[in-house]
Each structure stands twice: as structure tokens, then as C-alpha cells.
Amino acid sequence: MSDRNLAALVMAGGLGTRMRSETPKHLHLLLGRRMLDWVLDAVTATGADRTVVVVSPQTRDAIADSLPAGVELAVQPEPRGTGDAVAAAGDALAGFEGDVLVVSGDAPLITAKILSDLVAAHRRDGNAATALSIESSRDLPYGRLVRDEKGALREVVEAADATDEQLAIKELNASIYAFSAPDLWRAVDRLDARNAQGELYLTDTIRHLADAGRPVGSHLTADAAVAEGVNTRADLAHAAAILRDRVNDEHMLAGVTIVDPQTTWIEPDVELEPDAVIHQFTVLRGRTRVAADAEIGPHAVVVDAEIGAGALVGPFCYLRPGTVLEPGAKAGTFVEIKNSHVGEGAKVPHLSYIGDAEIGAGANIAAGNITANFPHQPGRPKGRTTIGRNVRTGIHNGFIAPVTVGDDAWIAAGSVITKDVPPEALAVARSRQVNKEGFASRDGDD
């Protein structure tokens, strides 16, 4: 970029009625992040000095409560079009003399690189306005970039107002722009609603500036997906799949094995070390961290957990927030673990629930074990279960927290442990078996 200041204006005032949701459109989630957050992340990475988000009165509170620090808010009182949305930010940017990047808040596929390239082209060419464009042979409902006989950009015509000849143009408007601030405000002041939608079109600023003799241009990007806005749940799913592929590709290029990228969903804040292996139908969410040589899945869900080197997770395993698996540990088939620390080389192989627990290195938790941590009295905190190093539990054990099992202890099958178990002891907490011989042949009246 240059020493010239840059402001970003993000339009997020639409109600998103086609989403058919009580949630504002821009706050719907894609791969664990809200749609607006994807846009703001891209804008922030350009190094913009200021960012203003334009909202509607109906969405103001929901969006304002969750904006990153330093992001400013402007309100568009009525939904009168994109030009009116930009005008609503006029007071917030009063006196700003640099360049203004205008981005739609429902364009989660935009990247910082494309925005930075747009601004660089805008400054290199000395333009008053530069429109980001794509080329497509598809009949998309996007504005067309209309040029004169010398190839200079003259205007952007919305599809609803375009002639058949204009609709045949293959260079389409991505609805993302760079303006010099003084030119932007002068052009916005000239907007009127004489068009098919009866709205103030931001696209008309290109024509007004060209008519005034100001230099306007376009910057063509090869990534046509960035122009795809989200207006329906189908659009949301389509955009999420593209973001999924981007995230997966980045991990694979960095040395992570993803067996089936199309069925693997990894949120953008997840950290994976090279040589980790992620099997099909696995979901990694939040700030999960997976170390080298760990193997996850198939059919595993991991949320805000830490997986050590060489650890094994799954299949059909659910690791909830606060779970830590030390190197070489295992959480196996149909195992759920929450807020627990599983020591190095310890194993929870199958069919168990471990919550609010400490499991020592080398311990083996047999099938069907459950830690019961709910407080016995209202208002008391949950208890924790501590299972020591090299402990061997039996099948169908229950641990009623708070309880501690000492190192090298054994737990008999079917036992419910309510008292601490000393190191190297065998705990048996079950009634003796009684056989009633001849029971099956007795008379039913006895």
C-alpha cells in the first residue's frame, strides 16, 4: 500500500428476509465464524486505519454487541439501497481524506489479498473510483461494466436495468470498490432513485464520476467466488463449503494429512501440526490444537481441545471444551470427554464418559466407565475425579466425585466408587452374586 490513509466501509444493513430467520443475515455462522466476521477479518488484514460497519435500526443492537474493538458503527435509518448505506457512514468519516474501501457484509469469501490488490491498483492508476470485477459466462444477476469504444469504463449497470446487449457483457461487478474519499461523497450526493428498484445505487457513482471527467477504472480478479453474496440458506451452505476447502487446502499444503477433505470440517482457528492425520467425517472446532502424528477420526467431533503428539481420537469420539490428551493418549470409539486431562499414554478405549477428571499417565479405563461429577447439594461446584498413574479400571465402573484413585490401583468390574482408593489397592464396590437354583422351573404362584 502507500502512506495514504485507508478507511473500510462494510455494508451490513440488510435484514436478510430470504434467510427466513430471526438471526440477522450477517450474523449467521460459516465454519464457526459469523458471516460479518469473515469480512471484517479480511478488511482488518489490509491494514485499514478505520473500519465503519453500516447497520439497520433492527440489527443495530445484535451487531453492535459483538463488533471487534475499534470498529465504528453507523446506522442506515431506512433500506434505500447501497448508495444510501454508504451515505449513512458520511458523518462517521467526515473529514477523512484518504481512500475508502467499500465492501458488502454478505461477501464472506472475500480475501485480504484481493482487497489489498484492489486498493493497490486504485492508487497506481490514480483513480477516483475503482470497481472490483470478475469474468463469468454464467447469467448472473450482477451489474455489468460498460466501457466506451476505447475500452475505458463508463458505468456499471445493474442487471435489472440492463439492456439485452449489456446483459451479454461478461465482465461483472463484484460490488466491492475503492474510492478517494472526496470523490465518493461528491458522487453519493448526486445519486437518485430513478431505476427499476427505486433505490440509490452505489454503482451509479461510477457514471457520475466519469461524466465529471474523473478517472474511474476496474480491477479484475480471477477468483469469481468472491462476488458471491449470501442471501439464502443455500448460499450460506455453498459459501461454507468454499471456506472449508480453503482451510483444508492450507493445512494439507502445510503437511497435514486430510483423508477426505470434502467430509472434513475444520474451523479457521484450529491449529494442526505437520504429520497429523485427520480422517473422514471429522469436525474440529474452536481453538482445538492437534500435535504431530496424532490421528483423529473417522466420525470424531473435537471442540476447544488439545491433542498431544501421537494421540489417537475416535472413531465416533466427542471431545468437549477443556479436554487435554497428552502424547500417546487414546480416546476411542464412542467415548465422550469433557474438561478433563488424560495423561501420557493413558487410554479410554471405548464406550465411556469422562467429565471433570484427571487421569494419570499409563492408566487404562475399561469399557462403560462414567465419572459422575454433579454436585450432591444445590449451589455446590462440580467435583473432580482423580485417577492416578497406571490405574486399571474394570468394565462398568462409576466414580462419584469428588473421589481419588491412587497410583497403580485396580477397580473391580461393576464397582461404583464413592470413597478414595489407596495406591496399589483393589477396590470392590458391588454386592456378592447370588444364584437362585431352579428359579426358571418354579411355579409362577410361588
Residue 318 and residue 201 share a domain:
no
| In-domain check, residue 237 | no
Strands of 287-329 (E only): list them. 289-290, 295-296, 301-303, 306-307, 312-313, 318-319, 324-325
Cβ contact 179:134 at 8 Å: no
| In-domain check, residue 383 | yes
- Rounded Cα distance between 317 and 353, Å, is 10
Residue 118 and residue 260 share a domain:
no
Residue 219 and residue 357 share a domain:
no
> Which of 358, 59, 211 is closest to 10 using CA atoms?
59
| In-domain check, residue 177 | yes
Residue 170 and residue 40 share a domain:
yes
Q: How, if at all, do strands 33-34 and 29-30 pair?
A: antiparallel
Question: What pLDDT is attached to residue 1?
Answer: 45
| In-domain check, residue 249 | no
- Rounded Cα distance between 103 and 314, Å, is 42
Domain boundary among 175, 208, 227: 227
Residue 302 and residue 195 share a domain:
no
Residue 16 and residue 109 share a domain:
yes
Residue 288 and residue 223 share a domain:
no
Residue 260 and residue 219 share a domain:
no
Among 28, 279, 341, 350, the active-site one is 350
pTM recorded for the entire structure: 0.91
| In-domain check, residue 246 | no
| In-domain check, residue 1 | no
| In-domain check, residue 144 | yes
**What is the phi-psi region of residue 205: left when phi exceeds 0, alpha when psi lies from -120 to 50, beta otherwise?**
alpha
Residue 329 and residue 189 share a domain:
no
What are the CA-CA distances from residue 321 to residues 176, 288, 325, 387 (Å)?
A: 38, 9, 12, 20
State CA 170 to chain mean position distance.
32
Residues in the chain: 446
Cβ contact 341:362 at 8 Å: no
- Rounded Cα distance between 414 and 370, Å, is 11
- CB-CB neighbours of 210 under 10 Å: 21
Four-residue CA torsion sign, 84, 87, 89, 91: negative
| In-domain check, residue 434 | no
pLDDT digit of tens for each residue in the chain (446 aa)? 455 799 999 999 887 788 899 888 999 999 999 999 999 999 999 999 999 999 999 889 889 888 888 999 999 999 899 999 999 999 999 999 999 999 999 999 999 999 999 999 999 999 999 999 999 877 888 999 999 999 999 999 999 999 999 999 999 999 999 999 999 999 999 999 988 888 999 999 999 999 999 999 999 999 998 888 899 999 999 999 999 999 999 999 999 999 999 999 999 999 999 999 999 999 999 999 999 999 999 999 999 999 999 999 999 999 999 999 999 999 999 999 999 999 999 999 999 999 999 999 999 999 999 999 876 667 677 889 999 999 999 999 999 999 999 999 999 999 999 999 999 999 999 988 899 999 888 765 55
Here the cell at position 99 is 481512500
Number of domains in the chain: 2
Residue 268 and residue 222 share a domain:
no
Active site residue 279: no
- Rounded Cα distance between 350 and 32, Å, is 28
- Rounded Cα distance between 81 and 13, Å, is 10
Output the 3-class SS for 81-101. Answer: CHHHHHHCCCCCCCCCCCEEE
Q: What is the CATH number of the domain that holds 220?
A: 3.90.550.10
Q: What is the CATH number of the domain that holds 413?
A: 2.160.10.10
Residue 207 and residue 337 share a domain:
no
- Rounded Cα distance between 224 and 227, Å, is 6
Residue 263 and residue 177 share a domain:
no
By residue range, what is the domain housing residue 11?
6-227
